[in-house]
C-alpha cells in the first residue's frame, strides 16, 4: 500500500517553502492589478447621523441601504431633530414590462425595472446632493411551462436589483465626499 501512494503522487512532496512562495506571488499579483477587498464606505462627515425618509423601513431596498449606511459608520436616526442629514427617497418605482413576444403571440421575455429618485441634504449646513435618478433593469426569459419557478426567479432578481441599487447609492455618496 505504501508503494502505491508513492507512485500516485510521483513520490515527491512539495516543500513548504514553495507553497509559501506561491502564496506570496499570488498576493503580489492581486495587489499589483488593483484588487482590494471591499471595506467600509468613506461617506461624507455630514451624514454622521442620517434620517432616512420617504420609504417604508421594511422595504427590501431600505433594509439594504440601511445596512450599507451602518457599515459605513452612519447612525440612522428616527427624527429630523436628531439628524445631521436627511436622505429622502422621492420616488421608488418597480415594475415589469414585456420585452419580446414569440411567433405564437405569447410573451417570451420580460424586463424588470427599478427607478429611484433621491436627494440628500445636510441639516444646518450648505451641504447637499441634488436630486439623483438611478435606473436599473434586468431581463429574464419567460417559459409558460415553468410558471411556478418563474415567480421565484423574478423575486430573486428583484432582491438582487435592490442590493445593486443600494450599492449604486453608496458609490454616489462616496463620490460626494
Residue 91's beta-bridge partner residues? Answer: 117
Provide φ and ψ at 138, rounded to 5°. Answer: -140, 145
Residue 86 near residue 51, CB atoms below 8 Å = yes
> Judging by beta carbons within 10 Å of its beta carbon (0-12, 13-18, 19+), is residue 46 exposed, middle or buried?
buried
In the chain, what are the domains? Answer: 2-32 (no CATH), 45-175 (3.30.160.150)
SS (H, E, C) the chain: CHHHHHHHCCCCCCCHHHHHHHHHHHHHHHHHCCCCCCCCCCCCHHHCEEEEECCCCCCHHHHHHHHHHHHCCCEEECCCCCCCEEEEEEEEEEEEEEEEECCCCCEEEEEEEEEEEEEEEECCCCCEEEEEEEEEEEEEECCHHHHHHHHHHHHHHHHHHHHHHHHHHHHHHHHCC
pLDDT at position 172: 94
pLDDT at position 23: 80
Summarised one tens digit per residue, pLDDT across range 93-149 is: 999 999 999 888 888 899 999 999 999 999 887 889 999 999 999 999 988 778 778
Measured CA to CA, the distance from residue 134 to residue 145 in angstroms comes to 34
Q: Say how many C-beta atoms besides its own lie within 10 A of residue 62's C-beta.
A: 18
Grid cell 512562495 in the structure block, residue: 21
Measured CA to CA, the distance from residue 104 to residue 138 in angstroms comes to 24
Summarised one tens digit per residue, pLDDT across range 6-45 is: 444 455 666 788 777 778 677 766 666 654 445 566 888 9
Residue 145 has, within 13 A of its CA and on its CB side, a CA count of: 0
Amino acid at each position: 500500500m505504501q508503494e502505491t501512494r508513492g507512485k500516485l503522487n510521483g513520490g515527491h512532496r512539495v516543500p513548504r517553502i514553495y507553497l509559501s512562495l506561491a502564496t506570496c506571488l499570488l498576493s503580489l499579483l492581486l495587489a499589483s492589478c488593483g484588487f482590494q477587498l471591499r471595506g467600509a464606505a468613506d461617506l461624507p462627515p455630514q451624514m454622521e447621523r442620517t434620517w432616512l425618509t420617504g420609504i417604508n423601513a421594511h422595504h427590501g431596498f431600505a433594509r439594504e441601504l440601511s445596512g450599507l449606511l451602518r457599515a459605513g459608520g452612519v447612525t440612522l436616526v428616527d427624527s429630523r431633530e436628531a439628524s445631521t442629514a436627511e436622505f429622502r427617497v422621492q420616488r421608488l418605482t418597480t415594475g415589469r414590462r414585456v420585452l419580446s413576444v414569440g411567433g405564437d403571440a405569447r410573451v417570451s421575455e420580460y424586463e424588470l425595472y427599478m427607478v429611484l429618485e433621491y436627494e440628500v441634504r445636510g441639516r444646518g449646513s450648505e451641504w447637499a446632493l441634488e436630486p439623483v435618478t438611478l435606473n436599473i433593469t434586468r431581463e429574464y426569459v419567460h417559459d409558460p411551462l415553468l410558471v411556478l419557478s418563474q415567480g421565484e426567479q423574478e423575486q430573486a432578481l428583484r432582491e438582487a436589483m435592490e442590493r445593486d441599487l443600494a450599492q449604486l447609492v453608496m458609490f454616489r455618496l462616496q463620490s460626494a465626499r
